[in-house]
Amino acid sequence: MDSQGFEFSEARGREAASALGLPVLVPSTALFTDRYELTMLQAALRSGAAHRRSVFEVFTRRLPEGRRYGVVGGTGRVLDAVENFRFDDAVLSFLSTEHIVDDETLAWLDGYRFSGDIHGYPEGEVYFPGSPVVRVEGTFAEAVLLETVILSILNHDSAIAAAASRMAVAAGDRPLMEMGARRTHELAAVAASRAAYIGGFSSTSNLAAGFRYGIPTIGTSAHAFTLVHDSERDAFKAQVVSLGSGTTLLVDTYDLSEAVRTAVEVAGPELGAVRIDSGDLVLLAHRVRQQLDELGATNTKIVVTSDLDEYAMASLASAPVGAYGVGTALVTGSGHPTCSMVYKLVARARSTDPDAPLEPVAKKSLGPKTSLGGRKWAARRRDEHGVAEAEVIGTGPVPPELADQQLLVPLVVGGGTAGREPLDAARRRHVEARGALPLSATMLSKGEPVIPTEVV
């Protein structure tokens, strides 16, 4: 989809959600936050610190156990959230009635508009421990309020994108279909479809995701469709008449071998695909392929579903499978439903003077919750073959040899969105970024981050 089509899809989604009252888009994201963001704001307004220029950064101290790289997902949704972070009358009334903040703070919130800058890794890029995935700059007051919603989006979407990336590696050239809507919250399902598409999935069963983001949608029938008919043959006939011989018939409701024979008799050798949703998929795929070929349906593909993850796909690599449908494992991050990203203040001005210099700040801790103060840049150093060899992070001048390998890009400038792009751009970027990593990045076995993080 080109940028024009993407913009049309976005606008169409907004209009339809408003007209139908659908919870796909939320008019205000201001309450997608924790109470202490507002109580900090109130106290900071009283002390005067609210107006100090500040820098917050989003990063993770470690990747999920055994993962070799992370994937940035949700950047576009973060931009939507920042644009819609508004305290309208209903929200202000709630805050007042519940005595969450005082009148002075309510008055300040009434005019809230983020006017600062946001830089970050572009969506689809890979990241590593310590990578400043997002950097938010503005006054303390306006930047601190965005913490919870930014983390909510990035932690969820990046987890799904990373799982999708691993599954795409395991699937090779075989298409991946996202089918997890029934395994998660209805709104999370839409975000998961979007993140999965970035990570390498080619389609989704979720119509809201197709409507909102222009992701291709797929789906034909479930076991209930077969069961409601008097016979499997009747069900297959009804589906073929309705959807054509190129449809996908679900063949494991009763007897698999008999269903495959009936499917080819009903649809002919032009049958598009058969779907297997249970059993020993490796064994059954070989048997069904042999049977289809013997029946003359040599071009009919085999689609497999049934609680797949990247490991199951790897075991099916030599099986005659045409496509995979994935649900539960994908929308739960394949065992890692969050990325443990944090949002930390790393620098603040010495005073409220707009020209006051920034000073690095960081929490001191004896445990693992340490962080590096200072406004950071990031670059990925590559070897002579163009393969990534280190994630380099620094707070001083960027070394000349890394100047053209910097990772952060403008997302919001002076409060205005600068980094919006078509979803397909993030999808292509991820393939390129993953392809530039050492080959060991694609191993499914547990391991350390595929490249080290260096602080200079």
* DSSP symbols for 157-175: HHHHHHHHHHHHHHHTTS-
CB 265, CB 253: distance < 8 Å? no
Question: What domains are there in the chain, each with its CATH number?
Answer: 25-160+336-455 (3.20.140.10), 220-321 (3.20.20.70)
> Vertex 285, ends 284 and 290: CA angle to 5°?
100
Express each pLDDT in 372-401 by its tens digit.
Answer: 899 999 999 999 999 999 999 999 999 999
For the cut 60, the answer to whether the pLDDT of residue 13 exceeds it is no
**What pLDDT is attached to residue 115?**
97
How confident is the model over 267-284, as a mean pLDDT?
97
What is the reported pTM? Answer: 0.92
Report CA 56 to chain centroid distance, whole Å.
22
Going by C-alpha positions, the residue among 169, 162, 117, 158 that lies closest to residue 139 is 117
Express each pLDDT in 407-446 by its tens digit.
Answer: 999 999 999 999 999 999 999 999 999 999 999 999 999 9
For 44, list phi and psi in degrees, rounded to 5: -70, -35
* Dihedral sign for Cα atoms in the order 372, 373, 378, 381: negative
* Mean pLDDT estimate for the chain: 93
Express each pLDDT in 46-95 by its tens digit.
Answer: 999 999 999 999 999 999 999 999 999 999 999 999 999 999 999 999 99
**What pLDDT is attached to residue 11?**
44
For the cut 50, the answer to whether the pLDDT of residue 21 exceeds it is no
